[in-house]
């Protein structure tokens, strides 16, 4: 029985009914990885340890809610004794002595960490073209980007290699690749999932989340990923609900906000048409649409590209060739060690963002740029607070278009930055948001974004699940022959 394109729920049923053993499931997963090596979705595999854990599960049945499920881990979560590179030459030899809280939680639930997925270097990118380990290909077409930075995770799920993967989202890095690869991806409320052991890009924006075929699988994953963590000072000490409990509850009477300031004419015509069809679908389920105003939403992208680079320049200062990671050969002195280590270890996009961040934090510019950006960020958050007094959720396209060709935007960083136009606001406000497949454009999938109020992941997943049980866009699978 093939395991390709199976959901977590499917695989758990197969294991329970003994249609497949844990070891067979892991072996079949590695066979799929090897037959899809052209995707370049994985940086490091964990085959020996995965097979060993599967054999142990076959002998001693685990009661964990994810027992035996192979999950791909994004390569910026520290994994004990397994290489963690962050898609960078700088960390090409880094083997952590501990695992991130997210990894611990999932493995304590019985999952098998099958390997580490390729990603944009230090999570900086929207196309998975900045990785030191090469570009990731989109399963929907070898010349298409999968989106970024969680492109390897998205590609692995979209190709049916694994039923689920972990991702991280700083400005859209779960939702944008989920949209371009035709899967479901959730960015939870900031602080809902611990960031301990997650290599930082922008500390006030980064958030881990699940990527899977369905909203139901994301809910199953989220149940295990969440925990209050004393090692992370931004971790929320809030009750963690069962995110699967209300999935099938009707959404009749739900109020969905449509943002007045989002000009849908900036979208591809076919994307705008699919968005309108999705509105009609929700209306048929009993939802009501309400126009809302987010007056400062147009400032989201410029605000993000001040805040995120500033925090990145601070976080990445630790990579200096002294304690861990790559070190240049034969440094002449300490200054030479710093300069050559960073010049050789970081790629162009990372260097660009470090330079921008160092500039906006420098004396004389801090108040003009970074402080001002933080003030605008508060205005954006206030706009959302006001909007959620009128609506239960906010609906937007996830991206401006479907997956674009590899190399088509590499010469224009601004166009690449605008790929996150619809996703960035939720990160600035710390709100939960997800992307679900809602249609096809020229044979390529696109996504619909739902933004929720603080800690309202359950409601978002319920709204998404209602859409998915009454449509089949999430069931589409790639043929790989689209260019």
Query: 90-118 pLDDT, tens per residue?
Result: 999 999 999 999 999 999 999 999 999 99
Helix (H) or strand (E) holding 437: strand 433-441
For residue 378, count other CB atoms closer than 10 A to its CB.
Answer: 12
Please compute the mean of the pLDDT values over residues 273-288 and round it to a whole number.
96
Active site includes 173? yes
Structure tokens at 210: 């699940």
pLDDT value, residue 262: 86
- Residue 483's pLDDT is 40
Instruction: Write the CB contacts of 263 (distance below 8 Å, at least 6 apart in sequence).
Output: none
Strand order in the sheet with 164-169: 42-45, 112-117, 70-74, 164-169, 207-212, 184-187, 433-441, 444-452, 393-397, 255-259, 288-292
- CA–CA separation, 160 and 476 (whole Å): 11
Q: Among the options 113, 149, 179, 235, which is catalytic?
A: 149
Indicate whether 482 pLDDT > 50.
Answer: no
74 is an active site residue: yes
Q: For the segment 305-325, what is each residue's pLDDT rounded down to a tens digit?
A: 999 999 999 999 889 888 888
Residues 173, 300, 313, 435: which is the catalytic one? Answer: 173
Choosing from 6, 23, 53, 74, the catalytic residue is: 74
> And the tokens for 317?
């200062």
Element counts in the chain: helices (H) and strands (E) = 15, 11
Question: Angle at Cα 379 formed by Cα 207 and Cα 199, nearest 5°?
Answer: 20
pTM of the full structure? 0.95
Do residues 84 and 76 make contact, with C-beta atoms less than 8 angstroms apart?
A: yes
Whole-angstrom distance, CA of residue 421 vs CA of residue 313: 22
Taking only the tens place, the pLDDT of each residue in 213-233 is 999 999 999 999 999 999 999
Q: Which domains does the chain have, with CATH numbers?
A: 1-483 (3.90.1300.10)
pLDDT for residue 417: 67
Hey, which bits of 261-367 come out as E strands? 288-292
Q: Is 149 designated active site?
A: yes
3-state secondary structure of 225: helix
Centre a 10 Å sphere on the Cβ of residue 252 and count the other Cβ atoms it contains.
Answer: 10
Phi, psi of 74, rounded to the nearest 5 degrees: -60, 140
């Amino acid at each position: 029985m093939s395991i390709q394109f199976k959901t977590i729920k499917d695989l758990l049923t197969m294991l329970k009914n003994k249609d497949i053993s844990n070891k067979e499931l892991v072996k079949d997963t590695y066979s799929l990885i090897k037959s899809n090596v052209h995707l370049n979705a994985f940086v490091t595999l964990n085959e020996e340890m995965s097979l060993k854990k599967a054999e142990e599960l076959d002998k001693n049945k685990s009661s964990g809610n994810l027992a035996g499920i192979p999950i791909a881990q994004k390569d910026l979560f520290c994994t004990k004794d397994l290489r963690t590179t962050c898609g960078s030459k700088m960390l090409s030899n880094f083997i952590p002595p501990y695992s991130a809280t997210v990894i611990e939680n999932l493995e304590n639930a019985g999952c098998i960490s099958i390997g580490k997925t390729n990603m944009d270097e230090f999570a900086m990118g929207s196309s998975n073209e900045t990785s030191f380990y090469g570009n990731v290909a989109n399963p929907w077409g070898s010349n298409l980007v999968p989106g970024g930075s969680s492109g390897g995770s998205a590609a692995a799920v979209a190709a049916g290699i694994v039923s689920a993967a972990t991702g991280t989202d700083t400005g859209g890095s779960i939702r944008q690749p989920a949209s371009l690869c035709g899967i479901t991806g959730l960015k939870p409320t900031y602080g809902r999932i611990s960031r301990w052991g997650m290599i930082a890009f922008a500390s006030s924006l980064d958030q881990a989340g699940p990527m899977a075929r369905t909203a139901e699988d994301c809910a199953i994953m989220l149940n295990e990923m969440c925990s209050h963590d004393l090692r992370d000072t931004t971790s929320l000490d809030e009750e963690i609900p069962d995110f699967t409990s209300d999935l099938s509850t009707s959404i009749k009477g739900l109020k969905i906000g449509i943002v007045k300031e989002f000009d849908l004419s900036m979208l591809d015509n076919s994307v705008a048409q699919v968005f309108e069809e999705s509105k009609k679908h929700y209306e048929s389920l009993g939802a009501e649409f309400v126009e809302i105003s987010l007056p400062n939403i147009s400032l989201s992208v410029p605000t993000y590209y001040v805040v995120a680079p500033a925090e990145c320049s601070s976080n990445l200062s630790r990579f200096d060739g002294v304690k861990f990671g790559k070190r240049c050969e034969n440094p002449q002195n300490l200054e030479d060690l710093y300069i050559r280590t960073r010049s050789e270890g970081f790629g162009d996009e990372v260097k660009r963002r470090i330079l921008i961040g160092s500039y906006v934090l420098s004396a004389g510019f801090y108040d003009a740029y970074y402080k001002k950006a933080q003030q605008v960020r508060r205005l954006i958050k206030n706009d959302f607070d006001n909007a959620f007094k009128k609506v239960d959720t906010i609906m937007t396209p996830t991206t401006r278009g479907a997956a674009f060709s590899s190399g088509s935007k590499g010469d224009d960083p601004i166009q690449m930055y605008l790929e996150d136009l619809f996703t960035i606001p939720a990160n600035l406000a710390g709100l939960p948001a997800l992307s679900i497949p809602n249609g096809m454009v020229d044979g390529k999938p696109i996504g619909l974004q739902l933004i929720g109020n603080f800690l309202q992941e359950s409601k978002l997943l319920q709204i998404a699940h209602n859409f998915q049980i009454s449509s089949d866009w999430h069931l589409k699978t790639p043929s790989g022959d689209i260019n």
